[in-house]
A and B are shown apart, each in its own frame.
Chain A
Amino acid sequence: MKNLLDRRKFLKGGLASGVLASVLGTGKKASAEHSFEGYPDSMGVLVDLSKCIGCRTCEAACNKEQELPAPDKPFDDMSVFDEIRHGQKRRTSEKAYTVVNRYDVPGHDGPVFRKFQCNHCNEPGCLSSCFVNAYTKTPEGAVIYNEKVCVGCRTCMIACPFYVPAYQYSSPINPVIKKCKMCYDTRLKFGRPPACVEACPQEVMTFGKRRDLIKLGHERIQGNPGKYIDHIYGEKEVGGTAWMYLSSVPFSEVGFNTELGDQPIINYVKEFLTVVPMVLTIWPALFTGFHLLARRKENQKTTTPSDRNA
């Protein structure tokens, strides 16, 4: 009788945990197996660093378009290029979605300027790490963010290989992430290039379909032998980005991280994500099995420890 009762209890317990597991298991699944090449007709921007003269017009255009607060120093103040914080040059912030930095590259004639903003990855780390799905990669190519659902965990900042998302630490009531949205709602959606691209007097940036830009970039490299480094930064980095760069000096000399690899960030996490369904399905059976084994021995003995079912 005792034995029967225990077995029924065991079945009930096993069943309950199995049901619980399957309920919890829904969802955290799939993302594991496919590989995403990017939307076929998504747009992008090719930035030719060799053309940039560091006039900061793009910064001013961005500030105006996105209605950002006035900068600490005016946009014609070139002393910002000398700013160093924590050993780092200027970076994007909640008040500036794009910045230009100056680099003095040994052996290169004159300084090299580099514009920087969100690179709008094909498979964004921010997007894959967000547990409220605040980020969207639009078919047009922009990575946009919905501040209405953001909880403020800041995992996207951990996951972004380019350190782009900027959090409003100063706001106690409604802090959100601020970053370049490729002028999605005001321009890109209507097929127009972002404000910075249009404002540039040097035509540093070319707006177009990402596919075509890659072709254009390689043509430019081939057409000007010796001028460019034979690499389009962003063509393959972390799975490819919408913003890509041509440079006449090594990318590592002008602030690019050249050790990111070609894998999108989500690929590093997949190893764990594949463990999840295994644990969810194998553990209940395994441990109820252990329980059965452990209790079986005891049932054969005639004595029952007084502690049991206490």
Chain B
Amino acid sequence: MKRYVAQGYDLPFLKNAATGGDKKWSIKEKLLLGLTPGQYLAQFVRNPFNWLFLLIFMAGLPILIGRFYYGLGWATHGSYDYPWGLFLGWGLFVMVPLSASGFMLGTTVEVFGRDDFKPIERLALLNGLLGYLFAVIFLQVDLGQPWRLIYPMFVSLGPAAVLFLVAWHVATYLSVQVAELLPALAEWGNWPGLKKFIRSMILGLTISGIILSTLHQGALGALFTYAPGKVHPLWYSAPFQWFYFFCSSIFAGLSMLIVVSTLCKRFLSWRCDRRFLDNLDQQTMGLAKGAVLALVTYLAIKIIAIAHAENWGYLVTGWGAYYLLEISVGVLVPIVLYTKALRNNLPGLARFAALITVFGIALNRINTALVAFNWNLYQEIPHWREVIISITVYTLYIVTYRFILYRLPILYQIKVKS
């Protein structure tokens, strides 16, 4: 695509935006970015990432199908002792906090009235929506009988269970996020009525988003409170577990947004408009500020929880060393880097800090769900098919993400005549 832009090629919407025109876009402009099928194919073939993705799909899709044909036992190391593996450890427990950006930025812009974050709001919402959507897809891969997913909603209700809350809230929140992004779809499809309708209830949507997010982010942590003694005490806290997960989802979502926006700037600059690109450094610093506050809060509550349960003794064991490593990499280093970036106004350093933070949050969730789980039994290593399926589904996520960023007005604005 970059080459077409360099050749001065007319991108759909861009020209339109410049003239403020109101002509209807054709299917070609909507889906093929205004290229002819031949041109589209040419740019598709030229992009090395497409070849990588193709390779992953060719290897991964047969195994993914095999999981449904031969069962979970064939694809995973799920066992009586380790019921959960990578599909949930990575797909649910890591994807969901990294998708907290939607409600964070929704709150910032719509509730706190920080309009200066508007250029990045839609990317945050999209990041949230897709993260949740694919967390559900990961869940579907993991469930023994995925076709019964709606059972907790309509067939047989267990309302006192934490997972019941997660199921309901994720389902509701998904619809909220779809609604929050409908304006982008409405602009793309040129349906002004739809946009107006959503705008009229955006505050209600955003606030329900905050409630649902607080609760289901926390609930994912609370799922582990069912397993006292199974999860290592340093990763377990009945009173604080939900807050660990909620609080860390704040900096996880913000950091993920920094990472994604950096990728967009690097690889999709042709699709970004000046409004997005020119504001990005300043917005990155704003997000970094939020992230570092949440990080400090998280660190404090971690220390309080250790004191509360008098777990100091565990810190000098091997598990303690590993715990301290996780805290250092995932919390302390990001705090130092973010602070340095903020004090000296170094967006590049903030982006690096964000990357470390994302890595740190993944480490924490994997540790809670898999590594520190059954700490007094034995360590389970995921099956190679489990790894391949996880990579395949994640690639599907990236491809979907990119497909939408190419087209909908997420990174750029369509000027509509009002």
Residues of A at the B interface (CB closer than 8 Å) are 9-10, 12-17, 20-21, 24, 26-31, 86-88, 91-93, 125, 128-134, 146, 149-155, 157-159, 161, 163, 165-172, 174-176, 257, 259-261, 265-266, 268-269, 271-273, 275-276, 279-280, 283-284, 287-288, 290-291, 294-295, 298, 305, 307-310
Shortest beta-carbon distance from A95 to chain B in Å: 11
**A132–B151 touching, CB < 8 Å:** yes
| Overall SS of chain B's interface | helix
Distance A197 CA – B152 CA, assembled complex (angstroms): 36
- Quick check: A151 and B145 within 8 Å, CB to CB? yes
B211 contacts the other chain (CB 8 A): yes
Chain A CB within 8 A of B107 CB: yes
Could you say which residues of chain B place their CB within 8 Å of the CB of A176?
144
Q: Name the distance in Å between B172's Cβ and chain A's nearest Cβ.
A: 6
Residues of B at the A interface (CB closer than 8 Å) are: 68-74, 76, 78-81, 83-84, 107, 110-115, 118, 142-146, 148-149, 151-152, 155-169, 172, 199-208, 210-212, 214-215, 218-219, 221-230, 238-239, 241-242, 377-378
Known: A171-B71, A174-B145, A275-B242. A131 touches B223 (CB 8 A): no
Asked whether, in the complex, the Cβ of A158 is within 8 Å of the Cβ of B71, the reply is: no
Residue among A15, A146, A268, A279 facing the most chain B CB atoms (10 A cut-off): A268
A169 touches B225 (CB 8 A): no
Most-contacted residue by chain B among A14, A168, A259, A291 (CB, 10 A) = A291
Point out the residues of chain A lying under 8 angstroms from B200, CB to CB.
9, 12
Please indicate the chain A residues that have their CB under 8 angstroms from the CB of B73 in the complex: 169-170
Chain A residues, CB < 8 A from B112: 290-291, 294
Q: Which residues of A contact B204 (CB under 8 A)?
A: 12-17, 20
Expressed in whole angstroms, the Cα–Cα distance for A20 and B193 within the complex equals 24
Looking at the assembled complex, report how far the CB atom of B40 sits from the nearest CB atom of chain A, in whole angstroms: 31
Asked if B159 and A163 sit within 8 Å, CB to CB, the answer is: no
- Are B83 and A157 in contact, CB atoms less than 8 angstroms apart? yes
Closest A residue to B169 by beta carbon equals A24
Inter-chain contact total with CB atoms closer than 8 Å:
245
CB contacts (< 8 Å) of B145 on chain A: these are 150-152, 174-175
Q: When the two chains form their complex, are residues B211 and A279 in contact, meaning their CB atoms are under 8 A apart?
A: yes
Beta-carbon nearest neighbor of B163 in chain A = A131
Evaluate contact between B79 and A149: CB separation under 8 angstroms. no
B68 / chain A contacts, CB cutoff of 8 Å: 172
Contact A163 B81 (CB under 8 A): yes
If A28-B164, A167-B83 touch, whether A294 touches B111 (CB-CB below 8 Å) is: yes
B226 touches A269 (CB 8 A): yes
Known: A172-B68, A272-B241. A149 touches B219 (CB 8 A): no
Q: Is A169 a contact partner of B78 (Cβ separation < 8 A)?
A: yes
Closest partner residue, chain A, to B110 (CB atom): A291
- A287, B111: Cβ atoms closer than 8 Å: yes
Can you name 6 extra interface pairs (CB under 8 A) apart from A167-B78, A266-B160?
A12-B201, A88-B378, A158-B226, A265-B226, A288-B111, A294-B111
Residue of A13, A88, A157, A259 near B203 (CB, 8 A) is A13
CA distance A165 to B144 in the complex (A): 14
For A131, list chain B residues within 8 Å (CB). 152, 158, 161-164, 166-167
In the A-B complex, the 5 residue pairs with the smallest Cβ-Cβ separation, listed nearest first, are A152-B144, A13-B203, A16-B204, A169-B73, A27-B159
> Given A86-B378, A284-B211, do A132 and B203 touch, yes or no (CB 8 Å)?
no
Q: Which residues of B contact A269 (CB under 8 A)?
A: 162, 222, 225-226, 238
